[in-house]
Structure 1
Amino acid sequence: MAVPAARIVAVGDSAGGHLVLSMLVSLHQRSSLPKLEGAMLFSPWLSLHHTPITNAETDVISAPFLRATSRRFRGPARADKNKTIVDPLLEFLDPHPETDWDAVLPSWLWVSAGTNEIMFDGLVTWTQALEKRLGRERVG
């Protein structure tokens, strides 16, 4: 029995939140696929290129750990180290002009994080930008 996309909510925590966003962008790129009902992101890792400094002394995750994990996830360095290549399936903290969040995101999005987390400031900035663009009734 197939479950309609309108009855599915994607949920991810930390790197899993990043995977949910990547999946939503990928689904959007395959325009024939219907949107999901919603998404819940708990402390999503929004950027593999940004090293947060806020709350570094209070979070169990450290900036050096994030840098090392990001390097492993992205793979070997590119030949041209002076050129920054940002894949829209990897980077969400710095929104891309071509990312149409209205089209990418499901009917509603819930984002949650603790105030002592190392990535908190980035999450607040990103969520507020989405709320401004899409409305609080859709993003919370």
Structure 2
Amino acid sequence: MKDFSKELSFKTSRSSGAGGQNVNKVETSVTVLWKVDESESFSERQKSLIKEKLKNRINAEGFLFLTVSESRTQLMNKNKAIEKVIEIVDKSLIVPKKRIATKPSKAKKEKRLDTKKKISEKKENRRFKF
């Protein structure tokens, strides 16, 4: 988990939705902006991984956007936004393991065929014979 919070910039705005006076006059919603290409915390390979996996969150200028308006205070929203951005970037850097194709063992094949035979015999015995 790399801490690149010093590279983040913030924009505040009024939160949307119901909330009365607090929502109408206080800018509590926080938008985090992070320029992926200009980051010094990650290698070029990591940056390309981030851009690939988070392409729907990155705009044309190369900024990663995230808006948080869960709390009533700007400071709590800012802290929550930092946590979320770090979590999202960390998840995007995880490379899944390649699946190794395996074959069923000889015993498993025989067991499957044996059960098929038993079921077939059972159904055959149910038939009406003349």
- Into which bin does the TM-score normalised by the smaller protein fall? under 0.3
Highest Rg: 1 or 2? 2
Greater RCO, CA 8 A, separation 6+: 1
